[in-house]
Amino acid sequence: MAPRSANKTAAPSDKVGMICRALRRAIIEQALAPGAKLPEDSLGERFGVSRTIARHALGQLAAEGLVELRRNRIAVVATPSWQEARDAFDIRIELERLVVRQLAGKLTKAQVAELNAHVDAEDRARDGSDAVSIRLATEFHILLANMTNSPILVRYVSEVAYRCCLTLSLYSRPHSSECAINEHRAIIAALVKGDEAKVMSLMHSHLDSVASRALVAPAPQRGRDLLDILAPYAEESEGAGRVVKLSKVVRAR
């Protein structure tokens, strides 16, 4: 039962695939924050390929919604609106309910072990950086999806999970992810027990709580602009109480 059933659809040599994976990871670990610029040249240079390849990878990522491509403009890491975040979570809930419904009571011992191992890893990472915790939590869900052996489902769950991850980094506060870990354990238990209804409602409430923990309010209304983020710092700037050159900052973004 090889867990390697990934994407059949990705044959563009895999230089492209490699860059995609690298960027995806950088994005969800917030090494690349939303809005970060991704010039083709730099990417190509960084990964030792030509612009052509970098460009192709960006296209791929754009199709997944992680990157925003505007004509004649530098590609940037996507900055989903609050509404889009909400939508993504709604879709995610349905898709993942489907996942666990298919999986309930059908997991092999090896698969259960793999899941447990992953959650253990999540546990161990609690002391480390938030970024890694978030990534692992996301990957738990993808691991689950993988076990359905449905490439389409895997692709959609992955995509939407990454997207949600991205929005979490935008709208959520410091993060108390311990509970998520317990919820993951509970889901595994219910899956093993094979109680379809139970595991579906567990997954539902799990994602719901993640979403609401993160998306409590459309706080930074339109989210993206630095204005809100910089507000607290404005007072401390060397000048008078006046807020510094906002127009400049806005354009800088």
Partner DNA sequence: AGCGCCTTAATTGCATGCAGTTCGAGGAGC
Partner DNA sequence: GCTCCTCGAACTGCATGCAATTAAGGCGCT
Residues that bind a second copy (CB under 8 A): 8-13, 52, 56, 59-60, 62-65, 68-71, 83-84, 87-88, 90-91, 94-95, 97-98, 150-153, 155-156, 160, 163
Smallest distance from the beta carbon of 76 to DNA, in angstroms?
A: 9
- Measure CA 179 to chain center: 18
Judge contact between 157 and 92, C-beta under 8 A.
yes
Q: Is 36 in the site for DNA (CB under 7 A)?
A: no
Taking phi first (over 0 means left), then psi (-120 to 50 degrees means alpha), and beta for anything else, what does residue 244 get? beta
User: What are the φ/ψ torsions at residue 68 (nearest 5 degrees)?
Assistant: -110, 130
Decide: is 12 part of the binding site for DNA (CB under 7 A): yes
Of 1-9, 81-89, 106-114, 245-253, which segment contacts DNA by CB under 7 A? 245-253
CA count, 13 A, side-chain hemisphere, 224: 17
Contact partner at residue 95 from DNA, a second copy, none, CB < 5 to 8 Å by partner kind = a second copy
d(CA 14, CA 194): 38
Among the residue ranges 7-15, 114-122, 202-210, 216-224, the one whose residues contact DNA (CB under 7 A): 7-15
Segment contacting DNA by CB under 7 A, of 9-17, 104-112, 187-195, 213-221: 9-17
How many C-alpha atoms does 235 have within 13 Å on its Cβ side? 1
Name the strand (E) or helix (H) holding 37: strand 37-38
| Residue 34 binds: one of DNA, a second copy, none (C-beta under 5 to 8 A by kind) | none
- Pairwise CA distance, residues 96 & 102, whole Å: 10
Binding DNA (rule: CB under 7 A), the pick from 6, 31, 50, 228 is: 50
Name the CA dihedral angle for 46, 50, 53, 55, rounded to a multiple of 10 degrees: 80
Which one, 131 or 227, has the nearer CB to DNA? 227
> What is the amino acid identity at position 47?
F
Query: With binding defined as CB under 7 A, does residue 51 bind DNA?
Result: yes
Paired sense of beta strands 75-77 and 67-68, if any: antiparallel
State which residue, 209 or 237, has the beta carbon closest to DNA: 237
How far apart, in whole angstroms, are the C-alpha atoms of residue 233 and residue 228?
10
Window 53-92: residues binding DNA (CB under 7 A): 53, 55, 69, 71-75
The residue (of 48 and 174) whose beta carbon lies closer to DNA is 48
- The nearer residue to DNA, 49 or 157, going by C-beta atoms, is 49
Residues at the contact surface with DNA, assessed by CB under 7 A: 11-13, 15-16, 38-42, 44, 48-53, 55, 69, 71-75, 245, 247, 251
